[in-house]
Amino acid sequence: MTRMYRAPSKRRQLISRIAIYSLMTLGVLLLVTFLVFVMLGYRFNRDTSSIQQGGLVQFASRPINATVTIGNAKLGDLTPSKITVNPGNYNVRMNRSGYRDWTKNVDVRSGEVLWLNYAQLVPDEIKTEQLTKFNTVAAVKSSPNGDRFAVLEEATKAVVSFVDITGSQPKLTSLPLPSDTLPIDKTPTYALADWANDSDRILLTLKYDDITEWLVLDRREANRTVNISRSYASDIADAMFDPRNSERVIIRTTDGNVRSVNTTANSISSVIAANATSMSLFDNDAILLVQTVPEGGQSVGYVSLGSDQVRVMKQIPSSEISHVAIGKYFSDPYVAVSTGSELSIYRLKTLPSSESDASISMTNVYSTTLPSPVDHLSIRTGGRFVIAQYAGGVQTYDIELNKQMLTNFKSPVSGELRWLDKYHFYLTNGSSLNVMEFDGGNAHSITPLATTFDAVQSDDGKYIFSINTSDTGYVLQRSRMIID
């Protein structure tokens, strides 16, 4: 007997379709969820037999195409590259043929990104060639954009030389200072003080008897030189360019008054702030001030550029030397204040205009006592690092990693640290040029150097320029940092 075929009922077909679509939907959801967890860095940790969210590590090097090893794992991709690894402490190594290894010990945190994008590989053999020669050199000042040097060949000669290092061969231009800006029947001693941000103007001082005068020199037109001390009858203790316009100079007089000079309009402002013992700049926003207080002690604060209203952030009962620095890391303002060897760092909700009545909320995020009083304090690298320099060393506080690092110098360092880029500073001790990272790591001697003058790294990182002694006097030299 033949059994007749019966088509499934519509109800059964509907149930079957719902089951299939439900399984497909569940499968897609599981797959998407799995991919999302993978993208968020979740991995199975064999050591703990558990699922953990890893951290993403980004690698970059100069030059590129370096091999990366993190822990015991060698990456298949050359730099630039990235990998997600389980949280923990790792030794990282980047290496490339012809270069010394770059190494660092790092902590990888769950769900965070660690940027190791500043590795500068140093050649095994650094070739240094001589370029422009000088009979004598008294002072050197590198420009903010690193494209040239200002050189005083003789400290008592009213001539400034500018060396453009952007081409294949340096270009030397010498500018005599106009005689009408100089004292009559005197032989001053000249010094280079400060470049404008646009690298077109530079501040100089000239000293004779017990007098110090300040000049603004335009490297493009020497006849636009202005003796601001004489033009505005000011006894100037300190001066710096207005970051918004290099034709304006902010001065602090010996009696503590802060004013603004417009060298084009031939004008001087009223007093912006009084009783100032030091001043510095916060980007293009404000003048940072340390002021004496009539009842004793000091205050640290700021005045917005274009304003004459000082905003006090902190009162300091001590008379020890104090410093203040402000920076923004992403959108969060941070303030660093040092008094003697005491350093404190605060996070602000906002940094209002100095004319605003809005309150300033300061939350302490880090405090420490350094081995010696702070000599220089700054916040740099996009607000990430607080740099506190003291006799014998420097402390770098990394805001991103909430980590402090101490670097001790083998020999004394005079003046504020000088930087080749955002992550590397250099030391000149009269015998060699030494380069190291912000935390003192990966330190290398680049070339013998018998001077302590400024050095510059080219934008592409290919060369480091410095001025050394030679058999006939002095010479501008360049050391090759990228060999191919």
pLDDT at 8: 65
DSSP per residue over 300-335, as a string?
EEEEETT----EEEEEE---S-EEEEEEEETTEEEE
Q: Is 110 helix (H, G, I), strand (E, B) or coil?
A: coil
Both structure tokens of 232: 């505005």
pLDDT tens digits, the chain, 484 residues: what are they? 556 656 666 677 677 777 777 777 777 666 655 554 555 555 555 555 555 678 999 999 999 999 999 999 999 999 999 999 999 999 999 999 999 999 999 999 999 999 999 999 999 999 999 999 999 999 999 999 999 999 999 999 999 999 999 999 999 999 999 999 999 999 999 999 999 999 999 999 999 999 999 999 999 999 999 999 999 988 999 999 999 999 999 999 999 999 999 999 999 999 999 999 999 999 999 999 999 999 899 999 999 999 999 999 999 999 999 999 999 999 999 999 999 999 999 999 999 999 999 999 999 999 999 999 999 999 999 999 999 999 999 999 999 999 999 999 988 888 999 999 999 999 999 999 999 999 999 999 999 999 999 999 999 999 999 999 999 999 999 999 999 7
pLDDT at 21: 73
The Cα 178–Cα 290 span in angstroms is 36
C-alpha neighbours within 13 Å on the C-beta side of residue 198: 14
Of 193, 202, 197, 194, the closest CA to residue 144 belongs to 197
pLDDT at 27: 73
pLDDT at 31: 61
- Across 254-292, where does the E strand assignment appear? 258-262, 267-268, 276-282, 286-292
pLDDT at 228: 97
* Terminal Cα-to-Cα distance of the chain (whole angstroms): 88
Tell me the pTM.
0.88
Count of other CB atoms within 10 angstroms of residue 283: 12
Count of other CB atoms within 10 angstroms of residue 394: 23
| Residues 126, 447 contacting (CB under 8 angstroms) | yes
pLDDT at 112: 93
Backbone angles phi, psi at 11, to 5 degrees: -65, -45
Q: Which residues pair with 190 in a beta bridge?
A: 206
86-118 in b/e form (b: 16+ CB < 10 A) is: bbbebebbbbbeebeebebebebeeebebebeb
pLDDT at 47: 55
- Domains of the chain with bracketed CATH: 44-120 (2.60.40.1120)
Alpha carbon distances (Å) from 283 to 191, 221, 304, 309, 334: 25, 27, 11, 18, 13
| Residues 51, 63 contacting (CB under 8 angstroms) | no
pLDDT at 45: 53
pLDDT at 484: 78
| Residues 350, 359 contacting (CB under 8 angstroms) | no
The Cα 53–Cα 87 span in angstroms is 8
